A and B are shown apart, each in its own frame.
Chain A
Amino acid sequence: MSKIVEGLKYSDTHEWVKTEGDIAIIGVTDYAQKEMGEITYVDCPDVDDEVEKGGEFGALESVKAASDLFSPVSGTVTEVNEAVVDDPKLVNDDAFENWIIKVQMSDASELDDLMDASAYKAFIKE
């Protein structure tokens, strides 16, 4: 059973979002990290890059697969978690603790389209 954290928002491409004011903290779900297996690289955007809701902002890589990351919100990247870039295993260790990017949201109402924990739980049908 994959871990799901209450109080976060979830996308159908398996990213989670936590908000602090108008900053969205974005990571991938436990379900996603399990699907990928041992993650070998986290490809991140640069600070100040613009991201669009539903647009790619990076990728997770394993030995035999790659999976794009899609931004659940639009805005500007304010921070990239260098720790997961340096040590991608952290995402396998705890996908919720180890966020990937922070985004200054341009339209917080976009969060309304995302799933809550129980909807996401139903979505992944475990």
Chain B
Amino acid sequence: MAGFQYFPHTDEDIRAMLDRIGVKSFDDLYADVPADCLYQGEYDLPDAMTEQQVRDYFEGLASKNPRLKVFAGAGAYDHYTPAVIPYITQRSEFITAYTPYQCEISQGTLRYIFEYQSMICTLTGMDVSNASMYDGPTAAAESMRMMVAQAKKKNTVLVSNTLLPQVRGVIATYAKYAGITIKEIEAENGQTSKASLEALISEGDVAGAIVPSINRFGIIENLDGMADALHADKALMTVYCDPSALAVLKTPAEWGADIAVGDGQPLGIPLCYGGPYVGFMACTKEYMRKLPGRIVGETRDKEGRRAFVLTLQAREQHIRREKATSNICSNESLMALWVTVYLSLMGPEGMKQVNDLCYQRAHYLYARLLETGKFQEVFSGAPFLKEFVLKPLVPVAELQKRLADAGFFGALETDDGYVSFCVTEKRSYEDIDELVKAL
């Protein structure tokens, strides 16, 4: 056989192995497969490339994509990634490890997940975090399922209109097949309407509600009183949040939430066309055993040394099968490490500084854009951090084209006909001035 660098078998090895098995050829190993299932044709794949050809091929593809400076958010944020993170997460002991079921040889993974859970808890103010979910939208959908499971007989979940469209979209998908009724809480001045929430609660059957901390307009919402309104009806509250912003914003716990979910991407994970990111999900102690996904806990080994294990596994699919709290198995473990290293490097001071920089630069862009006369304020005076919307007075396509031609990606059109911009600490004042000039 022609050699291939990932297959270690020599012809002699193959011969010896077939002999031990007592068969003559590979065909004998597939003798139990009906002949009409064996593929007889040629696989429609390219000829094998050498490693250098593969690298050249992808460099070619990469060069076809315009490299734009990102002034867009909408659920994916271009924060700076310190060099330490890829260095650590690429360590083969982390990246080539399996799920830490064999705890004796997985203490590295288990410890960083425990640290991750701790960090998610301090950011959200919640008691318990799981080991990660796929992304923010799926975490939100899981919170919907969790609230309905907890409510036993109630089957409606209220979803704020001000959540990002992809979050509402994935919630709607999961709800459809699970037979859960979704009702939309209206927006009022760009924020979740408390009156609408209360009206929907009074219609009955409400298991819980999902509302954003920072919403799709970039507005920091005031969730005061919402948890009380829900709890009075024995319904739960999930807050969807940006974990980077939580370093300065009121926590879901402070708003009275039972569950906090969101996407960990703003914690230094590259945009990478949408993934891999990491969903996070945390809750109060009361609902700990209803939480989906893996959870790491601390214990002792036989010699009394501190040790970490996957725990409360009776919730999970490999034990409970169809009665599990979720079907999730693989999650986004390595991205949880990514986030953990990021937060370790940043600390409370660094996180504050990132938010200060975002705030200042986003507000600078906001003011500069209004000066151009090409935009109007939409939600004047509404507090925002790094993302905001304006009403364009010129066609959106024209704005986007001018930006792209000048090397920028921004002015995303929202469902309401506004355009959104986002500024992170990676964008300098010079970048902002250039962007404004391009318009």
Q: Which A residues are within 8 Å of any B CB, using their own CB?
A: 40-41, 43, 59, 61-66, 68
Contact = CB atoms under 8 A, between A and B. Distances in A.
Interface size on B, as a range, is under 10
Contacts of A66: 314, 319-320, 323
Contacts of B319: 64-66
B289 interface: yes
B236 to A, nearest CB: 15
Interface string B399-421: 00000000000000000000000
Contact of B289 (A41, A62, A64, A68): A41
19 contacts: A40-B314, A41-B289, A41-B312, A41-B314, A43-B289, A59-B314, A61-B314, A62-B314, A63-B313, A63-B314, A64-B313, A64-B319, A65-B314, A65-B319, A66-B314, A66-B319, A66-B320, A66-B323, A68-B323
B381 to A, nearest CB: 45
A7 B110 CA distance: 49
B325 to A, nearest CB: 11
Contacts of A62: 314
Interface string B304-344: 00000000111000011001000000000000000000000
Interface of A is mostly: strand
A43 B312 CA distance: 12
Nearest to B310: A63
Contacts of B289: 41, 43
A68 B321 CA distance: 13
Contacts of A65: 314, 319
Nearest to A61: B314
Nearest to B309: A63
Interface in B19-38: none
A62 B312 CA distance: 9
B291 to A, nearest CB: 13
Contacts of B313: 63-64
Nearest to A62: B314
Nearest to A63: B313
Given A41-B312, A61-B314, 17 more contacts: A40-B314, A41-B289, A41-B314, A43-B289, A59-B314, A62-B314, A63-B313, A63-B314, A64-B313, A64-B319, A65-B314, A65-B319, A66-B314, A66-B319, A66-B320, A66-B323, A68-B323
B309 to A, nearest CB: 9
B364 to A, nearest CB: 53
A63 B66 CA distance: 52
A40 B313 CA distance: 11
A63 B313 CA distance: 7
B327 to A, nearest CB: 16
B423 to A, nearest CB: 48
A18 B78 CA distance: 64
Interface in B281-315: 289, 312-314
Contacts of A43: 289
Interface centre among A41, A43, A59, A66 (most CB of B within 10 A): A66
A43 B313 CA distance: 14
